Amino acid sequence: MDQGSENARVAVEVEGLRKAFGAGDTRVEALHGVDLKVEHGEFLAVMGPSGSGKSTLLHLIGGLDRASGGVVIVGGEDLASLDDDSLTLLRRRRIGFVFQVFNLLPILTAEGNVALPLVIDGIDEKEAARRAVAAMESVDISHRRSHRPSELSGGEQQRVAVARALVTEPVLILADEPTGNLDSASGDHVIAILRRLADERRQTILMVTHDPRDAAAADRVITLKDGRVADEQRPPERRPAEDGLREFEGSR
């Protein structure tokens, strides 16, 4: 395969990534020369013990922090070459974020929360609403579009958060412990939706998780230890999206 074809298949490329916090005697190396590629449409899970560098890696790939060394390329953009304004635009338009804490605005409806990134970006409100509803339909939550976060269950709030991450049609969705605040049935539903987005929409997803059951839904799992990639494997029996959806429906 020529270099151009290879680059076209890669959504995220990380080379020699390093991150240190502090200085002198208090300096801590969180990442030590991490190399990683994520192909377009791939669902990658990152695992590892606390302090292994999982969240640091996600924050650097998402442009939420600057690396101490190495290269991060997302959708063909070298993050180190971007100034703060360009990095903000990249995060807003090309990267979707899903966190353990849902981060929904309580004064807005579910639809309003999903549409918010588009409205901030200057998209016409009617078009933003149309795209928000379409994103909500793709994660099975459009029937709750008029409800505020306080009227939604945890699982429903997280699906709204996934729709918000999806609404800009990003090159990459970054999910940091997306089931950490959910019961097992709701968590399975969220993971099943992420799996379906990768299968049906070719959405690239990088998920940090401590849960082997969640990781089993991914195409590939890497394990970090002490800031380095310690292991990489493909789940031998990937859990299908339909399993999580059926289990959720049966639990309601």
3-state DSSP assignment of residue 122 = coil
Q: How far is CA 252 from the centre of its chain?
A: 26
Per residue in 180-209, pLDDT (tens digit) is 999 999 999 999 999 999 999 999 999 999
Runs of H (alpha helix) within the chain: 3-9, 54-61, 84-94, 110-120, 125-138, 154-166, 184-201, 212-215, 241-251
**Residue 32 amino acid letter:** H
Q: Specify which residues 97 forms β-bridges with.
A: 174
Whether 23 has a pLDDT exceeding 90, the answer reads: no
Per residue in 97-130, pLDDT (tens digit) is 999 999 999 999 999 999 999 999 999 999 999 9
Under the banding of pLDDT at 50, 70 and 90, the label for residue 78 is very high
Under the banding of pLDDT at 50, 70 and 90, the label for residue 252 is very low
Output the six-digit token pair for 126: 């009617």
Q: How far apart are CA 73 and CA 178, in angstroms?
A: 24
Whether 16 has a pLDDT exceeding 60, the answer reads: yes
Q: What is the mean pLDDT of residues 20-24?
A: 85
Domain borders along the chain are 41-62+93-251
Per residue in 218-240, pLDDT (tens digit) is 999 999 999 999 999 988 765 55
Under the banding of pLDDT at 50, 70 and 90, the label for residue 27 is confident
Task: Give the other-Cβ count within 10 Å of 86's Cβ.
Answer: 13
Q: Could you please state the CATH topology (level 3) that the domain comprising 41-62+93-251 is classified under.
A: Rossmann fold (3.40.50)
pLDDT at 166: 97
DSSP state of 227: T
pTM for the full predicted model: 0.89
Are 170 and 41 spatial neighbours (Cβ–Cβ below 8 Å)?
no
Output the six-digit token pair for 151: 């009227």
**Residue 45 amino acid letter:** A
DSSP state of 72: E
Among the listed residues 13, 24, 20, the one whose alpha carbon sits nearest the alpha carbon of residue 61: 13
